[in-house]
Every structure is written in structure tokens, then in C-alpha cells.
Amino acid sequence: MLTDLQTKKLTRYFEVYDIDDDGSIEASDFERIVENVRVLHGQDGNGQVALSGAYRKLWTRIAGADGDGDGAVDLDEWLAYWQVTLESDERFQEEVAGLTHRLFTVFDLDEDDMIGRSEFADFFGVFGLSVDLAESVFDALDTNDDGSITRDELLQASAEFFRSDDVESVGNMLYGPYGA
């Protein structure tokens, strides 16, 4: 079972991907994400191709949560999907840790194996989230205050976001504030 805290965080995660705010996640939300990537990185940038590809792949995966097959993933389907996924270490590794690795690689534009402040703002930008919010989340995640997030720190934050039932876990904030 998902705990109360997990449900709140996964609801926040749902809202982040429901870009047009219509209460379900569908292919059109991902087209918006891909469009935001294009605006951020330009039509021909290498990063743009990798990122767009990564988000198209992610949609294929998320579409697997569409239990009733109506082409849209609503919040109940989303939570049911994550409940099953998080119960299996194997699926967790593949779907959460694997995705986090890929996102880290595509957003590390200068390839220094760290996510800097502006790279993190790019990550939030593809969801239409503000730079101010990106800054405050970045500060929370950058616990040793060195101005960058390492791959291990992001993996840890992501694991906490999905799995932790401790309100104090830093990773809870990965996608910004979640419902009280």
C-alpha cells in the first residue's frame, strides 16, 4: 500500500506531468513537454534530440498505467501503477533508478557529471515550472551547498521521493511542494 505521504508526493508528480492541468496525463501532455524541450534547447541541439527521445520513451512507459485503455492516465490509474511498481525492487530499479540515470545524463549538458543550478532549472522548465521554484528545490537538494548535484545525490533524492515515508527526507521535495 502507498502511505499517505507517498500518495501526496505521487499526486504532486502526477500534477507535474499533467502539463495542461486537465486531470489526466495523455500523449498531448508529452507533446507539450517535447515542445518545451525544443524551446529550451533549440531545434537542432543534440541535447534536444536526446531529451525529446527520452520523454517520448517515458510516455510509452507511463501509458502502461492506463488501466481502462481510454488513452489517458487519470490519478487513480497513476497511483495504482505506482503502488505495483514500488512494491517490486526490480521494477523500481528499472523504472525509477533507470529513468533517473537517463534524465541525469540528458540534463547534464556540459557533461561534467554534475547537475548545476541552471541545468536543474532546465529540468523544471520542461514541465513549465518556474525558475524560482527550481532554485528553491535545488537549494534543498544540494545539501552540502557546493552548487551541484551529483548522480548519487539525485538517485538518493529520487529514491526518497518515491519510497520514503519520512516527512524529513530531503528527496520529498524533488518536484516541489506537495499537498499538505
The residues that touch Ca ion, with contacts defined as CB under 5 A, are: 18, 20, 22, 29, 66, 68, 70, 72, 108, 110, 112, 114, 116
CB of 101 to Ca ion, least distance (A): 15
Contact 93, 11 (CB under 8 A): no
CB of 110 to Ca ion, least distance (A): 5
CB of 111 to Ca ion, least distance (A): 7
Q: Which grid coordinates belong to 129?
A: 515550472
* CB closer to Ca ion, 35 vs 112: 112
Contact 100, 154 (CB under 8 A): yes
Say which residues have a Cβ less than 8 Å from residue 111's Cβ, sequence separation at least 6.
none
Say which residues have a Cβ less than 8 Å from residue 165's Cβ, sequence separation at least 6.
3, 5, 6
CB of 164 to Ca ion, least distance (A): 26
The answer for 13, left when phi > 0, alpha when psi is -120 to 50, beta otherwise, is: alpha
CB of 160 to Ca ion, least distance (A): 22
Contact 135, 150 (CB under 8 A): no
* CB closer to Ca ion, 70 vs 166: 70
CB of 116 to Ca ion, least distance (A): 5
* CB closer to Ca ion, 157 vs 164: 157
E strands of the chain, at which residues?
24-26, 72-74, 114-116, 148-150
* CB closer to Ca ion, 121 vs 172: 121
| Grid cell 524529513 in the structure block, residue | 168
Residue type, 128: G
Q: Which grid coordinates belong to 166?
A: 519520512
* CB closer to Ca ion, 125 vs 172: 125
* CB closer to Ca ion, 29 vs 160: 29
